[in-house]
Structure formats: structure tokens, C-alpha cells
A and B are shown apart, each in its own frame.
Chain A
Amino acid sequence: MNLEDINKLLDKLDQMNFSEVEIEIDKTKIHVKKATGEAPVGPTGKPVKQEQPFSDSVISSPMVGVVHLEKQLKVGQKVAVGDVVAQIESMKLFNDVTSSQAGVVSQLYVKDGDPVEFHQSLIALTKDNKHV
């Protein structure tokens, strides 16, 4: 990929609806995170606190509901692929949230029992070999 290709790709990506993406084409790896013009505004019109932890991946809620974190889940804890890290209660049903990555919990964005929306960040993970 040359610089022109990358520029074209970035233009294309700019028109698409996402906030962060990682793409690998012919050994060129691009990580794009979009700047969100203004700070998101919360229900009361006040800016929502932006969470910018050190993380390699974020586990987000697959649905609207109430989050129930696994009891033993703490910052610094190791998580394996497929581990259940939380449950989302929706219409009295409990839905498992599993980790698609192995890593170490670096931050919990939510408290047990918090209401959550679709794709709300729940847990940040860093890669196993890094310091937390």
C-alpha cells in the first residue's frame, strides 16, 4: 500500500459509521480512531466523562439492560478467551457476556447493577504480557 492508497482508504473510512477500527491489508496494519468533534452530551446536557484507559480491547454490552459483573472480576485479573465476564439482564433473562480476547482486566467502566445501553463499554483488557 502506498501513501495514496492509504489516503483513499482514510477518506472512505471517514464516511463510514464507526469510532475505531483496525485493518490489515498486505502486511500493512492501520488502526483508526475517529475524533468525535464534540464531547458526547449526557442526559442532563453535561458532557459525559470520556474514558480513555490504557487498553488493547474493550468488552462492550451486546444489548440494553442491567449489567451484572462476575463476582470475582477485579482489575488485574486474567481473562481467557470465552470466559464469562458479565451478564446482561434484559426482560428478566440473563445473557452471558464472554471475552473474545485473552488479557488482563485493566479497568471496569461499570458497577454491578448499572443500567447499560447497546455497545456501552464494560471492561477494558490489556494484553497478558503488559503491565497493568
Chain B
Amino acid sequence: MSLYTLLGAFEIGLIFSLVALGVYISFRLLRFPDLTVDGSFPLGGAVAATLISTGTDPFVATVVATIAGAVAGLITGWLNIRLKIMDLLASILMMIALYSINLRIMGKPNVPLITEPTVFSVLQPDSISDYVLRPMLLVVVVLAAKFLLDWFFSTQTGLAMRATGSNARMARAQGVNTGLMVLGGMALSNALVGLAGALFAQTQGGADISMGVGTIVIGLAAVIVGESLLPSRRLYLATIAVVVGAIVYRFFIALALNSDFIGLQAQDLNLVTAVLVTIALVVPKLRQHWSGRKGN
């Protein structure tokens, strides 16, 4: 693997670590199986790309894309809390609705960003190559997101949100408005995913209607890989594990696709993902099995 592909994998890994943090909030903290991300990721991309291509400042466009993601999460939460639709189904409804919404926003299946300014090109100094600068900026963004989440989930409100996912009945008995917590958590989760989509569109030369396919699996893969590499229940370690998981996952994908002797091609990506997730799910169980036998 060349340095270029290595940095490329690192860059995409960082972007997907934002998705993974979002998925961690919904799946692990709220225990809400949320597939909205397959729609809110391209939503972020579509909003950012469309706004930038019509002359909006890329930073403003990125912020608007993040808010759009939050709104998508809010609606999924609302379908579940107010209309009492099962969580998984509510998120699937939102996901397919977003497919049409994204097409409407873009007005066509894709919006290229080739010559337009992006948050990366605006900050680009002459002395650093763009493929080095992008990962550097993304490290800052991801670390900021990680520390903000660590802080939020140790506040009174954040703790109430975690309690809602862990034991909603107890949370209510302590006076927590659990419905509101689910809405807030879903908004937060999908805001991160929307932000990731906006950054992805700006690094990959535009938004495409199919860019969201499998986002949830990649996000979940990152969470699972991270948890098996760094098993911990402490929140600040869990968030770092999730970020590391996303990066490691992208490295493995890049490795698999760039090793000629394996003979894998880009279209095998989803298969590789499925195999990696399976391995990550099985390894901790095998480890338990073996250590259990040793103990006897």
C-alpha cells in the first residue's frame, strides 16, 4: 500500500468515526436500532454539496447539513415516541423517505464538487499537500466531537439520557422525561452522521444518491471492531474505541482491496464488510469460550 492509499484510508476512517460515534449513541447508549443513518449520511452530503454548488460558504453549508441530519433523527424519534411506531420500523420509514428527499434536494442523482471551494480547500496552505491536510483537519474535528460527547454524557442531562437507554422505567421513576431524551439522543446521533456526510461529499468530490448505502453496517462494524479491540464500559474509553474501530476497519478494507494476491475489487466491499463484522462478532465469544475452559 502506498502512503497515498494509506492516508486515504485514514481520512475515510476518520469521517466514518463520526458515523460510528452516532451509531454508538443510538445503538449502544439509547438501545435504539436506528437505520436512519443510511439516509441522514447522504442527506448531509446532499445538503452540503447543493448549498456549496449554489455559492454558499462551505462552513455554513456544513453546519446546515449537520442540522439537517439532526432534524432527520428528530423525526425518526418522533415517529417512535409520539406515533408509537416500533423503533426499527420508524427508522426504516425515515430512511426510505430520505431517499426521495435527497433526490429532491439535489434535483439530480449527483452533485459534483470539483472546482467549488470546500472546508478543506479554504483552509489549504500551499506548503502542505491536500491529501495530508485533510486527515489532519479531520483528526481535530473527530477529537473535538469525541471530547464534546464525553463531556455531554457526564452532565446531568447526558446521564439522564444514558439512564433512558439503560433502564427507561427507572429513569422515569427518577423524573426523567424519557421521550424527550430519546428525541434529543436521536437528533445528536444523526447530526454527527449528517456532519460526516457533508465532510465525505467535500473530500470525495461531490454527493451521490447512493453514497449512503450500507452506512449503518459500516458504522456498526466500526463500533463492534472498536469494542472488541478495546473492551471497556467507561464512556471516554468507549468513544475512543469507536473512533479507533472506524479507522482500523477502513485500513482492513483498504488492505483487502489493495492486495493484488487476494484478488478483491471495489465491488467486493460489502462482502468484505460482512465478513469483517462476522469475525468481530465471533472473536470475543471465542475468547470467552477459551478463557472459560482454562478456568475449569
Partners in one complex: no
Residues of A within 8 A of B (CB): none
Residues of B within 8 A of A (CB): none
